[in-house]
């Protein structure tokens, strides 16, 4: 799909560096180091600034202080990456199949499907399911008893939504995700595990995105709640009775244990582990591969673990790390003697 730079500036609310560029057309986005005529790029990271002097793109999205670094058309934005995201969506709109209910879909007599929906091959809607208008349920989706899917939500192939779950409006659920499976609840009775029934559900707010093969467990008693605008990457584990605040983003392979509350506008990097029954306040940033073992009550950036180094050095330091307690005790005694 083609747009003029004038149209893109108007739709994204940014400024064009010169009105004479308004009629230039672009039809794709591309990296700044490889873009060519007919494509638009962006530069948000200073380490890519060196490519601007030779960039062949028809236009580049830049902050105002970098406008002179590119000789061609510039869309001036306070947040080039966000503007790029908007433009990429315009130039590459999602494929939306024609509304229909496929002949192989199984829909219970008591289920309701709204207007302008696509219900794909081998999709199953159980008793009492409600699918609101403009939803896309791709091949092999299962929606369990009494669950609901909000208006404009897209559920990709082979997603399972268990019973008594509620998905908000405009959600995007990627393939292989499981929403509403039982939480890991067991009581120990003389060495034997007794399963604790998981009678809560899962509630997703509006504009939530759930990555491929991510699992969100149902609550043990109350619901597991994912508030509006939350973005979950692929292969994330969200345990029972977790609550994630609005507009928080969690990167791939992270895990959140049961009954933890995460605040609004938090960012959690990949492969982080957050233990159960703690709280993270709003605007917390957790760096990659961190273990969060107690509550965080003040906004800011937090890390754990050690940085990488050459293996031989790491092995020596690992041995010394194990000796720190003994060294600390000896130092304490020496200080007390003095």
CB 220 within 8 A of CB 200: yes
User: Considering only CA atoms, which of 185, 194, 266, 252 is closest in space to residue 224?
Assistant: 185
User: Considering only CA atoms, which of 289, 152, 138 is closest in space to residue 207?
Assistant: 152
CA distances to 16, 31, 59, 82 from 92, in Å: 21, 15, 17, 15
Per the structure block, which two tokens stand in for 236?
């994330």
CA distances to 14, 21, 63, 78, 151 from 82, in Å: 11, 21, 12, 9, 25
Q: Which residues of 314-329 are buried (b: 16+ CB within 10 A; e: fewer)?
A: eeeeeeeeeeeeeeee
Rounded Cα distance between 42 and 57, Å, is: 10
- Note if 108 is an active site residue: no
Rounded Cα distance between 217 and 177, Å, is: 11
Burial class, 334, CB count within 10 angstroms (exposed 0-12 / middle 13-18 / buried 19+): exposed
Helices (H), 162-281: none
- Please identify which of the residues 51, 108, 240, 247 carries the catalytic annotation: 240
User: Considering only CA atoms, which of 70, 72, 63 is closest in space to residue 15?
Assistant: 63
Rounded Cα distance between 73 and 61, Å, is: 9
DSSP letter, residue 219: P
What residues act catalytically?
240
């Amino acid at each position: 799909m083609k747009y003029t730079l004038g149209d893109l500036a108007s739709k994204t609310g940014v400024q064009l560096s010169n009105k004479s560029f308004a009629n230039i057309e672009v039809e794709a986005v591309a990296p700044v180091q490889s873009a060519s005529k007919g494509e638009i790029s962006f530069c948000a990271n200073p380490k890519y600034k060196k490519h601007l002097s030779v960039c062949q793109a028809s236009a580049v999205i830049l902050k105002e202080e970098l406008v002179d670094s590119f000789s061609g058309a510039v869309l001036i934005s306070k947040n080039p990456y966000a503007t790029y995201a908007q433009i990429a969506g315009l130039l590459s709109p999602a494929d939306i199949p024609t509304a229909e209910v496929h002949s192989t879909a199984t829909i219970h007599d008591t289920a309701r499907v709204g207007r302008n929906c696509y219900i794909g091959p081998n999709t199953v809607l159980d008793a009492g399911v409600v699918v609101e208008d403009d939803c896309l349920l791709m091949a092999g989706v299962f929606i369990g008893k009494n669950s609901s899917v909000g208006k404009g939500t897209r559920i990709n192939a082979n997603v399972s939504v268990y019973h008594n779950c509620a998905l908000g409006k405009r959600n995007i659920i990627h393939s292989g995700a499981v929403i509403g499976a039982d939480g890991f609840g067991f009581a120990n009775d003389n060495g034997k595990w007794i399963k604790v029934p998981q009678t809560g559900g899962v509630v997703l707010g509006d504009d939530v995105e759930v990555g491929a093969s991510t699992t969100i467990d149902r609550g043990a008693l109350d619901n597991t709640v994912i508030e509006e605008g939350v973005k979950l990457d692929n292969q994330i584990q969200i345990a029972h009775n977790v609550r994630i605040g609005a507009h928080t983003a969690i990167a791939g392979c992270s895990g959140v244990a049961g009954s933890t509350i995460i605040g609004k506008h938090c960012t959690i990097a990949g492969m982080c582990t957050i233990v159960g029954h703690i709280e993270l306040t709003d605007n917390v940033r957790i760096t990659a591969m961190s273990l969060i073992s107690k509550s965080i009550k003040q906004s800011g950036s937090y890390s754990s673990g050690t940085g990488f180094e050459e293996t031989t050095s790491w092995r020596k330091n690992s041995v010394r790390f194990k000796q720190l307690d003994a060294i600390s005790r000896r130092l304490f005694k020496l200080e007390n003697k003095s």
